[in-house]
Structure 1
Amino acid sequence: MPEIWLDYGVTNVVLDIKAENLEQNIDSEGKVLEDAAIQEKLGTLNLSKPNEIVVLHDSKAVQKVLSTLYMMCEQKSKPFPQIFAEKRIINQVKQKLPEGSMISEFGDSELSNANLVFLGEMEFNGLFGFETIATRLIKKFGKDEMLAAYAKRKENLPSPGHVGDSMEEAKKFTNNFEIQG
């Protein structure tokens, strides 16, 4: 089978395609939230306080949650929340927001705000097993904790879909935050 060389930071890594891996199907066994569950979770937000939403993905599912949140704000005559997004997706997110929405780039200084709500999707990840909000936060803000998570990997091969000790490090890092789930 062929080898593919990929850029990974400042180095190149080889992706060795094996026939036995092509038939492997990784399943997260995760559940897609129904509309009622989304509305219930968003109902726990205190809309009377100014909330700040950090959008970590630009996808249909995230857009659906944002639309539901905006609809709830309109129904209750509450102000729209301030939206933050990373620089790489800020333009895509901005295009899909209703008029009157405010969007800014998400940076390090915003992490100290107590009213941040993170919005993202779960994906597979070779180190943590799954890419979650906790893993994104540890990668962005927890340099030392990220090194500890990397040190706890079982082997040098990626293990997407398998939760290990690295994920526990990410969860420990985010235990400092008040997370509504």
Structure 2
Amino acid sequence: MTEIWFSYGPTEAVLDVRAENEGARYSSDAGEMDDGALSAALAEAGLAGIPDLAVLHDTPAVRRTVASLFMLCAQKSAPPPRVLADRGVLRSLRAGLPEGCRSAELEASDPGGLVFVSEVEFDGLFGYETAATRLLRRYGGEAMLTAYSRRDGNSPSPGRRTGAYEAALGFADRFEARAVDVVAGSGGLSGVWCGHPSKSGAPAMLEGSGVLDAEPHAAAIIGTGRSAGNATLSGSLRSLWNCAGAVKKGGLAILVAECAGGLGSAALRRRVEGGLPDASLRSPARYVGGMEDLLYLADARDRYQVALVSVLPELYSEKLGIVPVAGAGAAMGHALKAQGQRLKAAVITDGARILLR
């Protein structure tokens, strides 16, 4: 019996797998960037002395980047930046900021003049989530509908430069903003890209370390690999789209994600409340945040069964066409019951940072 540990909110959940049921294991093997190289990249970008730094989400790799920037400012006798972030991000981020660091909520209605730092991820709609796509989601308004209409079909497209991604680059090009796109793997921060959001080279860096060939299995048990990735269901679903290549048609995908922050998107909430039927998702008159996940869930259900280990009410899962599973310990039992005692289950503990093809 093998014990496999999954990130589950601030803690970990354990899954026991018999040797005869264990299929392939997949994880990112990106090397870790050393402190000197990180500091040099930030210095070369001229970031010492910037007035404000907008942090779009909180991950260990992002925290390390922020800490390195503060150290660089101290070395160059430059004033450290004020850190701006949304309330929920700021609450967790403050614990890792240097003593005396100035911080405030990110309330700017225009991204112009700001430096944005965030971790790059694979994304079903855009192909990649970078500072450019985050700016479009945050400030784009009706431009998000245009991006949604330019998606590559009705299946998720992580790791592909989609029409929606091109729309995001065009939107970001309107603003005089800068980005620090952080790339991370299982071992931590592996690289940074600094420059204008519309020119980001981070997707190529992410592809270089995060794309793996996969063999389809009768079942795949998928964890996100970090607490920030499974705080909400909408964030956790990215790991499912990334790892769908490990699931056979007619198979089973079990997502292990705490989702203590709830559903996480307006579209998922609307569906749970009885709105946004599948028929309304292909050519909508207006974009509702996260509606691509409903579209992709409908596509997934046609290909394989989706199950979820989380703290969400079972009713939520059922409304979304997802089978609720009572704890990570029960995940393997559910897989054996659904797919047979001889199944080989793929195990992915870091689904947010890899792409299986």
* Band of TM-score, shorter chain: 0.7 to 0.9
RMSD, aligned CA: 2.7
Q: 1:108 to 1:26 in 2, by over 3 A?
A: farther
Q: Name the CA distance, whole Å, in 1 between partners of 2:32 and 2:153.
A: 31
For residue 53 of structure 1, give the secondary structure of its aligned residue in structure 2: strand
Larger of the two Rg values belongs to structure:
2
- Give the percent of matched residue pairs that are identical in Structure 1 and Structure 2: 37
Q: Name the CA distance, whole Å, in 1 between partners of 2:82 and 2:97.
A: 11
Name the aligned partner's letter for residue 78 of structure 1. Answer: A
Q: Name the CA distance, whole Å, in 2 between partners of 1:122 and 1:133.
A: 8
Equivalence map 1:49-68=2 (5 Å): 50-68=50-68
Residue deviations 1:32-77 (CA, integer Å, cap 9, x gap)? 65534422331122534x4210111211111111111111111122
Structure 2: runs of 5 or more not aligned? 1-22, 179-193, 196-357
1:47 aligns with: 48
| Contact residue 126 and residue 158 of structure 2 kept, 8 A | yes
Q: 1:46 to 1:61 in 2, by over 3 A?
A: closer
Q: 1:127 to 1:30 in 2, by over 3 A?
A: farther
1:13 aligns with: none
Name the aligned partner's letter for residue 159 of structure 2. Answer: G
Name the aligned partner's letter for residue 144 of structure 1. Answer: E
| Contact residue 123 and residue 132 of structure 1 kept, 8 A | yes
Name the aligned partner's letter for residue 160 of structure 2. Answer: H
Equivalent of residue 139 in structure 1, options 137, 140, 144: 137
Q: 1:136 to 1:78 in 2, by over 3 A?
A: same
Structure 1: runs of 5 or more not aligned? 1-21
For residue 142 of structure 2, give the secondary structure of its aligned residue in structure 1: helix
How many equivalent residue pairs?
156
Q: 1:55 to 1:31 in 2, by over 3 A?
A: farther
Q: Name the CA distance, whole Å, in 2 between partners of 1:135 and 1:64.
A: 22
Say which structure is richer in strand: 2
Name the aligned partner's letter for residue 38 of structure 2. Answer: I
Q: Name the CA distance, whole Å, in 2 between partners of 1:176 and 1:33.
A: 32
Under a length normalisation based on structure 2, what TM-score does the superposition of the two structures give? 0.40
Equivalence map 1:86-165=2 (5 Å): 86-109=86-109, 111-112=111-112, 114=113, 116-165=114-163
Residue deviations 1:58-110 (CA, integer Å, cap 9, x gap)? 11111111111111111122211010011221111111101110111112336
